Structure 1
Amino acid sequence: MPSVSDIVQKFVTAHPEVKRWWVAYSGGLDSAVLLKGLVSVGPPQPVVALHVNHGLSDHAEEWQSHCQKQCDDLGVELVVERVRVKADGRGLEDAARQARYEAFERHLASGDALLLAHHQDDQAETLLLRLMRGSGPKGMSAMTDQRSVAKGVLYRPLLGVSRTTLEEQARQWSLSWVEDDSNSSLSFDRNYLRHQVLPAVRERWPDFAEQWQQSAGLCRQSEELVQEVATEDWLRMEWRPERLGSSISLTALKALSSFRRGNLLRYWLEQQGLPLPERVHLQEVEHQLIEGREDSSAEVEWGGVRLRRSRQRLFLLQEDKISSAPVPAQLWDGRAPLQWGGWSLSLESVEQGGFRLPAQGFQVSARLGGERCHPSWRDRSQTLKKLLQEADIEPWLRSKLPLLWVNGEIAVVADLWHCKGWEADSEPGYRLIWRSLDGVE
């Protein structure tokens, strides 16, 4: 087995594009060995240690002081990031990890590489944890050896190295490190596996960690194939942006097998950075939205994600826009663009088919209910509710429509139509441009 220095040397040589090396340095044995190994290589780029102080232990300040002393001895700059850990029902381990990665993102710039000291035993623990949670191929891929973080890249160069090898290397280098007192607490799942489960597994199958690493690699290959299928299917989904989110063709989605539909939905949500569905959510999508009636008002929701159907399309709706409070009425002269809540309203001149601009301007408001109007192309007035139903406007969008009023009567309904008496005959005409502030029209 090559030494840690040899492994790090080979790794550094393979990444000449890196402009600055960061090491996530907790002060524990693993990160101490990784930092020493990197310094011993002597890369031409700057080396910086990043210590995240979670403030969860009574010894947190002692650990930070220890990290500072070790970095001073190595001639390495230490950056300390203090974070507040909020469990929010996720569990302390997950919350601390989230806070840690947010700290990483605040520091990594383009060309930066962040090294984490996860090793083969950590990988085995992660694999078993995800197995206990019922993970699929993606979860069973365990930890990847690299991924993007902010503008930089995170690497785990020691995933093939055992904890025993790191301990031997630390003794050879006479390193000093801290022991996290929480590592002995069996209330944490990872510690329970480390102290109660895996020692028995290792006694029976000494090489289990290497074999599990191979299984994780095979799962990763399967996940890559699944992603390739999703990418190909996505090209047929006719995706388009919508005012309150985005949508895909329900007809194209139905043409896929059930498995590929679920795979495609995960792909879509992952591209948006949204929480992925569990099996129960996919079952609801199948039953209520894909197999449901065209006029169904069913909605499938989880973690701020909302899916609905309309006009043979499946809509992914943005929670913040859907649940936003009604926008107060505003006066608008129509001459300059108006920011109306989360929307931008402006007028564009047209040669024919437009509406007039009144001298006093418009009052802009959302629907309150009970409104009537007389579209210029109809022979009589009708309730706005009925007209919007006839126009097949998505139900969730109807309450968001900007209505332009003059003297207590509706003159213009969003960018859909204008009302009787507001036709521009011999004078310049206009049409309403209604966009969300992120540019979707």
Structure 2
Amino acid sequence: MALPEPEKELRQKLFFDWQLSPEQRFFLACSGGADSTALLHAAHALALRVEVLHVNHNWHPDSARWAEHVATLAAGYGYPCRILDLPAKQGGEGPEDRARRGRYLLFADQMRAGDWLLSAQHQDDQAETMLLQLLRGAGVDGLAAMPERRRLGAGTLARPFLELTRASLRQYLRQRGIRWLEDPANNELRYARARLRERIWPLLHELGWPQASRVITRSAANIADQLAVEDAWYAQQAMLCWPDGEIARVLSVDFLEQWAPALQRVFLRRWLRDLGMDAPDRQSLERLRQLFAPSQGGRRVELPNLHAWRQGQKVQIWQHFPSHEIPAQEWKPLAPCGQGDGFRWCWEQPVRAAQGLREGAVIIGGAELQGRTLRWTKRQAGAHYRNSAGHRRPLKKFLLEVGVPPFLRDDVSILYSDTDEILWIPGFYLRKSALHGTEVLWVDLIHPTGNPGDGTDPGEMLRTRSWRYWRALS
């Protein structure tokens, strides 16, 4: 006997297209609505090993009852269920976007390496996503809509129903007499998706496009192919630009100026994305691109949530300027740990930061610093320093060499040794030294707000996360 369409599609995706083991354990996101209930029933029909995740948004009087319904539904199938409470404050452009971001953050926290989360978005959801992105003026990333699979936390988010319609999933449930919840928000016209469902799709059908969702989804799939090509090209160029595999927020003008403007824009968008920054609109992106034109040295560009500076043949960008308010002070890095005004330290093995220090902690030296007096200070007019060879040089020249813009040179905090050698300028420079012995000196900055502020890892010479990302597994 032939399997019903949702069960057939789920089996095809999991065990043939994605080649997962029948022993694979899954998380399954279930709101209690028709789509996720259909996914849950199909998973049970295929005897999948499942744990249900439900997010309680706490934004409706019946939220607790819905959570109880999902827990009861999961128990009826013999599945465990976790109820996750959405925090009250989430970033985003509107209530829908904030809820979506919050859900995925909660889901990501549950994921471990090898975990898969099944989610029930379908063809109509995909078409709505693409149309909404189009109305927002999105680029290729947005118009490709939702990938079938993508990284989520340490695991994988999978959408096996993207080729099925909303109507087919509801028919599947009705034929089996399975009830589902109706969220009244789905019909509230203040939400963009509700307006599409209630007003736009019926009008398109009336005007002669009954297959609008299917056709729009096909276009999204075509754009996703183009996105994959762009991503592959960017990855190749990133390997040439940063051979060690770590994306820097400093980019060579010589590397970019050889390309046509369209390629420059593609590269810049993905560069910003890899740095964890939102790509600006086209007009702002063009202003950034112009920094790579001839004769633009010493120019500064201010964009929403993005600052850029060109000095010579280098362009630097920041989401927030480095801001490390460390008062002038002297200190001795005594073992095992200690804390100063605005920073802390620990002596620990060089393979990892000591417990209690954040991920951005840096190694500023080894045994040669034991018992010595170090000092934090700001730049003073006419100040000098000594390089590793002991030669005295103007500090202003050194700050220029390491890329500190003129408008930040009086604000950066500088860590000196007792011989006036510069050990660390957070966000710009870290002395490299030969490490001897089993313990090294780790130093971490303490931010009053608990937020690093500039979004960079100051100890990695302006480098951030690896370019070895992937949007989908295919």
TM-score range, shorter chain: 0.7 to 0.9
State the shift of 1:106 in Å: 1.3
Query: Which residue does the alignment assign to 2:227?
Result: 223
Which of residues 375, 396, 404 in structure 2 aligns to 1:364? 375
Per the alignment, in what secondary structure is the counterpart of residue 100 of structure 2?
helix
Equivalent residue number for residue 358 of structure 2: none
Partner of 1:112: 115
How much does 1:223 deviate? 1.1
1:369 CA drift (Å): 2.4
Instruction: Tell me, in whole angstroms, the C-alpha distance in 2 between the residues paired with 1:209 and 1:25.
Output: 23
Whichever of the two has the greater Rg, that structure is 1
Structure 1's 154 and 88: CA in aligned 2 closer, same or farther, altered over 3 A? closer
Q: Flag the 1:299–1:326 CA change in 2: closer, same or farther, 3 A.
A: farther
Distance apart, 1:239 and its partner CA: 6.5
String of CA shifts for 1:258-290, please: whole Å, max 9, x gaps: 221121122222223332232133122123454
When normalised by structure 1's length, the TM-score is: 0.80
- 1:13 is matched with 15
Return the alpha-carbon distance in structure 2 between the equivalents of residues 125 and 214 of structure 1: 13
1:82-139 alpha-carbon deviations (Å, 9 max, x no partner): 1124254621100000110011111122222211111111111111111101112221
In the TM superposition, residue 376 of structure 1 has moved relative to its aligned partner by 9.0
Amino acid paired to 2:9: I
| Residue of structure 2 equivalent to 1:424 | none
Runs of 5+ unmatched residues, structure 1: 350-356, 406-410, 417-432
In structure 1, distance between residues paired with 2:336 and 2:196: 64
User: How far 1:152 moved relative to its partner?
Assistant: 1.6
Match of 1:208 in 2: 212
Residues 246, 316 of structure 1: 8 Å contact kept: yes
Displacement after TM superposition at 1:162 (Å): 1.1
State the Cα distance separating 1:237 from its structure 2 match: 2.4
**Which shifted more, 273-282 or 170-179?**
273-282
The residue identity in structure 2 corresponding to 1:331 is W
Query: Higher RCO, 1 or 2 (CA under 8 Å, sep at least 6)?
Result: 2
Matches within 5 A, 1:12-411: 12-14=14-16, 15-17=19-21, 19-43=24-48, 46-88=49-91, 90-203=93-206, 204-238=208-242, 246-288=249-291, 290-291=293-294, 293-296=296-299, 298-303=300-305, 305-317=306-318, 319=320, 322-332=322-332, 341=343, 344-346=363-365, 361-370=372-381, 372-373=383-384, 384-385=395-396, 387-388=397-398, 394-395=404-405, 396=408, 399-404=412-417, 411=419
Shift of 1:323: 1.6
The Cα shift of 1:200 comes to: 1.1
User: What do residues 334-360 of structure 1 show as CA deviations (whole Å, max 9, x unaligned)?
Assistant: 9999987365433676xxxxxxx9x99
TM-score (norm: length of structure 2):
0.75
Deviates more, 1:310-319 or 1:202-211: 310-319
Change (3 A) 1:334 1:370: farther
435 and 233 in structure 1: CA distance in 2 versus 1, 3 angstrom threshold: farther
Displacement after TM superposition at 1:229 (Å): 2.4
Q: In 2 relative to 1, CA 286–434 (structure 1 residues): closer, same or farther, beyond 3 Å?
A: farther
Q: Is the 8 A contact 1:289 1:308 kept in 2?
A: no
Higher mean alpha-carbon deviation, 199-208 vs 327-336, is at: 327-336
Residues paired across the two proteins, number: 404
